[in-house]
Structure 1
């Protein structure tokens, strides 16, 4: 297989600062498109991965980035979905087996086939090659794993929708957030701020549960009806048995039993963040109210397109801070310090 070299930013080793390198991109296959990347969001998952915090070692050098927005620059000979100049995005995966029950149902993120879901970076594709993500100038991807970004969404603020947006849209849609439903969003960060916007647009009554009241004004501006500090024990007393659905966006270990106590009978707590350590759950926190503890992982291609169209219809984008590639390492430190409102986006022209 022949390749073209493109510029990218990569972590050469675990916990090492990211640096500019060149990486190979495959030549266009019949169903591939070449994307001229315009913007790439910085997700907390990028930081976990390059710092080897999830225990998988990693395929270094790692080029992170799975919130990718750009423009089609070239198409393979049999591409039918896109034309040169189309605005497109790529999210957390770039392939799957396409034939298992989940893939056929549009749940490619849960692929159970031999290939499995191929992550946009730090994975091995069907050609046996390592995948490199969106902190780069260009990306080659199968047309079936790209998304159309509606004209109503600016590319820079749309990029984080490809992970943060779908990570919240999928559980909110699945557990039927809407009128008459009380939804709590735990954490007001890159994920949480999109959860507030989307749940509000769906018509739910939205509460933010954050460690402090520092971001209360932001939370209410984004669409929350209520805002509580979880550092105050009175919060858990006042809200006991309140919510139909709680989505936990936090990647730190919380006392989930306390949060389960905030659910109504038959309520569900959905875990979205992926902490480094196991999460202990007391059986009676579930048994006592026929409560459920669940997880959710991004969304399939069709649902991600549905999310983008929903966001365009309701005027929803991420709140972003655009940076040059030379500030990626600084941005990582600021994410860890919760010093971003609410998503960093890399201007790929600076790579």
Structure 2
């Protein structure tokens, strides 16, 4: 029987309930496990949707959080990659089968058996239980799914790289963005602001698209070479057939054909935002230029480490606003209103000072 211990966390017991402090059970480290004292945890839109059971039925109690940065406080006897004191990260998954074709290709996010999400997924180690995320004081993870954080990074601002960073890096790398490529980034939010920074560091010419003129200066500050007001038909028409690749980070309903029109022949648009309803695609938006409309999620563990190392080399982190865990419900409401530049990060010291329940 798996030994467990009680720790402090923040979560919710129902879709309509606010998040509050609770005690949860974590497994004690097994021979291949790394135990991590969580210092910072980013707040992702996925956290909000899962806590409120908006992406299919969630399991409760639900403790979100998959942008985790912390320090190793113990390791199992067979752990080779990490030692006590190492600064590490945990992203969107904490397990997979490790045997299927995709796991063997370092594409664990596409595991044929289904990856084990960092929260709200069946827990392989505790029968009948499910995983709890980073809104907690510590986490125990198999060493294969633990990532090394570069020494030069601000740790709080590095946390969102574990989701927002890899979600944008993976498609940019897959579609070979680099020098000589003209790349569009649609939406300047938690994902889009990372997309601009990373595409620019890869050497591309970056064009940012926004519905708000107030974000022009911000987009330039983030690294965009040009900024387009997407509501202005004349501005959009000026880029018709000009872009090699578009990273679409918008989760609201929008006209995808207007952006497909901006691709040159053999261009690709990859969707990383998750609109609630289908986006109608006109056949001729694709046929006339042999264009591709694709989607992308996170990357595998090796690619996520590659992303972290790349960001370390190019001094890239997220733009963040730090909050105490007690402000998480307020942060969720602000997130819904787009009132954050560009990612909330929880200082987990605010939880560790609280008494156990």
TM-score by length of 2: 0.96
Q: Deviations over 1:262-291 (max 9, x none)?
A: 111111010101121122211111111100
Secondary structure of 2:330's aligned partner: helix
Secondary structure of 2:22's aligned partner: strand
Counterpart check, 1:14 vs 2:15: yes
Secondary structure of 2:286's aligned partner: helix
2:50 match:
49
1:136 match:
136
Q: 1:255 & 1:27 partners in 2: Cα distance?
A: 49
Q: Which runs of 4+ in 1 moved over 6 A?
A: none
Cα distance, 1:125 vs structure 2: 2.5
Task: Provide the aligned length of Structure 1 versus Structure 2.
Answer: 348
Cα distance, 1:87 vs structure 2: 0.3
Q: Deviations over 1:272-319 (max 9, x none)?
A: 011211222111111111000001111000000000000010100001
Q: 2:225 & 2:59 partners in 1: Cα distance?
A: 44
- When the two chains are superposed, the root-mean-square deviation of aligned CA atoms in Å is 0.9
Q: 1:100 & 1:315 partners in 2: Cα distance?
A: 35
8 Å CA contact retained: 1:95, 1:125: no
Q: 1:26 & 1:337 partners in 2: Cα distance?
A: 37
**Structure 2 counterparts to residues 96-111 of structure 1, below 5 A:** 96-111=96-111
8 Å CA contact retained: 1:40, 1:68: yes
Aligned with residue 126 of structure 1, among 124, 127, 130? 124
8 Å CA contact retained: 1:212, 1:228: no
Cα distance, 1:186 vs structure 2: 0.6
Secondary structure of 1:33's aligned partner: strand
2:335 match:
335
Q: 1:339 & 1:156 partners in 2: Cα distance?
A: 19
Q: 1:45 & 1:273 partners in 2: Cα distance?
A: 11
1:27 match:
28
Q: 2:26 & 2:60 partners in 1: Cα distance?
A: 16
Shift of the 109–336 alpha-carbon distance from structure 1 to 2, 3 Å rule, reads: same
Q: 1:166 & 1:153 partners in 2: Cα distance?
A: 16
TM-score by length of 1: 0.97
